[in-house]
Amino acid sequence: MSLLANKIALVTGAGSGIGKAVALKYAAEGAKVVVSDIAEKGGHATVEEIKAQGGEAIFIKADTSTAENNDLLVKQTIEQYGALHISCNNAGIGGPLGQVGDYPVDGWDKVIAINLSGVFYGMRYQIPAMLQSGGGVVINMASILGQVGTKNSAAYVAAKHGVVGLTKTAALEYAQQKIRVNAVGPGYIETPLVKDALDEASYQALTGLHPIGRLGTPNEVAELVLWLSSEKASFVTGSYYNVDGGYLAQ
């Protein structure tokens, strides 16, 4: 039997990159997938790809930086499929670069709203739905920068550290109610956004930060997310798993 047969899964930021890879992986393992993103074109494309591979999915547009959109997203999921068993809170942005002393305040507010508050809002409405569904699994997308710092990305680093702490707290609160909560910390991942944003020298420098000698792929992150979302990880909760090519081992 498929790993996620008869499960209903919700993935935010699923219109591209890691979120898309997770949605495709969930669907391939039998889950009915709610694909959510603020980008409609990418979200619909993910749904069409899932359907082309024989899976089942719908797209719901949502801005995860607002509590109202997260509430509506869960309600629409329940209306469509009658339950919620798995969520991957993946939506996020990099935000502006700058030192703390002159970091743009509006940039800080936006990054925190999407990358940290968005994860809280997601769980705030997902967890009650999972309790009604008999239990579930939450995967929160953190980063290697949920464990260490880096210059010029104060908001991103603070948000991802917050996601790790939030994950541990929720895991403790719901461990005895059949809900597991874990965080995943990718290193730098090969996406069009990364490739297009960097010149060749910068790209090579970024690659050099990973002892394995390359960037990761969205599919490699999705493999870890899939395992954590399945019963194969039934004794795993409150954990923070890195998939980083050795970045944090240095």
Instruction: Give the tens place of pLDDT for each residue, 176-231.
Output: 999 999 999 999 999 866 777 788 898 999 999 999 999 999 999 999 999 999 99
Residue 54, amino acid: G
Let me know how many helices (H) and strands (E) the chain has, helices first: 9, 7
Residue 67 has pLDDT above 80, yes or no: yes
Instruction: Give the tens place of pLDDT for each residue, 139-166.
Output: 999 999 999 999 999 999 999 999 999 9
Count Cβ atoms below 10 Å from residue 184 Cβ, excluding itself.
26
The residue whose two tokens read 């991957």 is 88
Are 107 and 154 a contacting pair, CB within 8 Å? no
Confidence band of 1 (pLDDT split at 50, 70, 90): confident
| Catalytic residue list contains 156 | yes
Residue 247 has pLDDT above 80, yes or no: yes
In whole numbers, what is the pLDDT of the chain averaged over residues?
96
Confidence band of 66 (pLDDT split at 50, 70, 90): very high
Q: Return the pLDDT at 15.
A: 96
Are 118 and 163 a contacting pair, CB within 8 Å? no
Distance CA 140, CA 118 (A): 10
Q: Return the pLDDT at 193.
A: 67
Residue 71 has pLDDT above 80, yes or no: yes
What's the CATH number for 8-249?
3.40.50.720
Share of the chain above pLDDT 70, in %: 99
Extents of the domains making up the chain? 8-249
Q: Return the pLDDT at 197.
A: 75
List own/partner pairs for 160-166 with CB under 8 A and 24 or more apart.
160/115, 160/185, 162/116, 163/115, 163/116, 163/119, 164/240, 166/116, 166/119, 166/120, 166/123, 166/140
pTM of the model: 0.96
Of 81, 156, 174, 241, which is the active-site residue?
A: 156
Q: Return the pLDDT at 84.
A: 98
Distance CA 154, CA 241 (A): 22
Are 144 and 244 a contacting pair, CB within 8 Å? yes
